[in-house]
Amino acid sequence: MGSFKTLHDIDVAGKRVLVRADLNVPVRDGRITDLSRIERLSPTIAELAGKGARVIVCSHFDRPKGKRVPEMSLAPMAAALGEVLGKPVAFVDDCAGPLAVQAVAALQPGDVLVLENTRYYPGEEKNDSVFAQTLADSADLFVNDAFSAAHRAHASTEGVARLLPSYAGRLMQAELEALDQALGNPSRPVMAIVAGSKVSTKLDLLGNLLSKVDVLVIGGAMANTFLAAQGISVGKSLQEAEMHQTARDILAQAEAQGSEIVLPVDAVVAREFRAGTASEVVPVTAIPADAMMLDVGPATVAALVRRLGQMKTLVWNGPLGAFELAPFDRATVALAEVVAAATEAGLLVSVAGGGDTVSALRHAGVADRLTYVSSAGGAFLEWMEGKILPGVAALEQ
């Protein structure tokens, strides 16, 4: 990861600072249901405003596909940002037209303005140079604080960064530093936990991690595919029969380069996936033909805990089981508590990310006890896959 400039490197007093935020928050029936992204963004906005900048916030929301969709306006997010900051936040019903120009011109040092949804313009997702220039014309400096949108080469993430002096905001900075600590220049040994429903969607991820980690733990339904590829009957468990040879190839690759792949040794199985259903713990070699594996068992958790005690760094993507429904959350919760305790004791650097992972760690009550938990979703996964993120590359010196 290259070097990048941060807010430490600039004097923003009196300057017009365009901040690329991620205000793409969950909304239900017109109400914001989770303020996490706005809360994590607020320190950058507060710092810039406190130093006398004229702060102009831009973001996308949902997928209006280049058209005005009233239900996808950023007006509610502007109001929520004002509540989180504890100060007035202005909103303008455009991001690139005369109304936006007038609103920016009216800003005083310390003011905050939220522009309307950048995706109302088709030039946003096309990374159109004219649209990017229009956004750049409104500002003197650009601050990208939206790592979660950094995997997209859009006008407001990549295009503008090529046109203005550009810097990483505090959230972007924290994310990049945590990711570098996890896989860029980690303390070894390094363990990665990768889980999910399909091997086919995580081939790039597995391939990249094999070259970077010492121990790779595979959980979730992905583990079923790896077990079945070795001739183990997994009953009615979700698996990808067409990926068996790929799974064997990955196992062979790991052995050839001296990486260790860890698979479950026991499983929590049930005949159906519903609340209150009967379940039992069996060795993975004894999964009944009419049952499905919905979590890893206690012997697997114990083995992971022992292995974790030898690690210095952990990267975690994906819960070990179907954590949404008890008792299939037990393995994820148990391991999460051990990871949190080791982190707090200074024994482990722990970085986690991905939508289900964040939800699982919150469910376990430890999301704020790990070294860093990324809410970036797709950008976090593409970083784990070793891909170049356009929004980050544009900031690098």
Instruction: Considering the candidates 198, 307, 312, 369, report the single residue annotated as catalytic.
Output: 198
Give the span between the Cα atoms of 293 and 226, in whole angstroms.
Answer: 13
Give the span between the Cα atoms of 43 and 45, in whole angstroms.
Answer: 6
Instruction: Considering the candidates 15, 16, 37, 40, report the single residue annotated as catalytic.
Output: 37
Instruction: Considering the candidates 52, 82, 378, 386, report the single residue annotated as catalytic.
Output: 378
CA-CA-CA-CA dihedral for 340, 354, 375, 339, to nearest 10: 0
Task: Give the DSSP letter string of 3-45.
Answer: -B-BGGG---TT-EEEEE------EETTEES--HHHHHHHHHH
Instruction: Considering the candidates 212, 355, 362, 386, report the single residue annotated as catalytic.
Output: 355
* 355 has catalytic annotation: yes
* 248 has catalytic annotation: no
* 14 has catalytic annotation: no
Q: How many CB atoms lie within 10 A of CB 6?
A: 17
What is the crossing angle of helices 220-229 and 244-257, to 10°?
A: 90
226 and 246 Cβ atoms separated by less than 8 Å: no
DSSP for residue 161: G
Q: Which two tokens stand for residue 394?
A: 């544009």
Task: Give the DSSP letter string of 197-219.
Answer: S-SGGGHHHHHHHHTT-SEEEEE
Q: CA nearest 220: which of 382, 356, 384, 350?
A: 356
Q: Active-site positions?
A: 37, 198, 355, 378
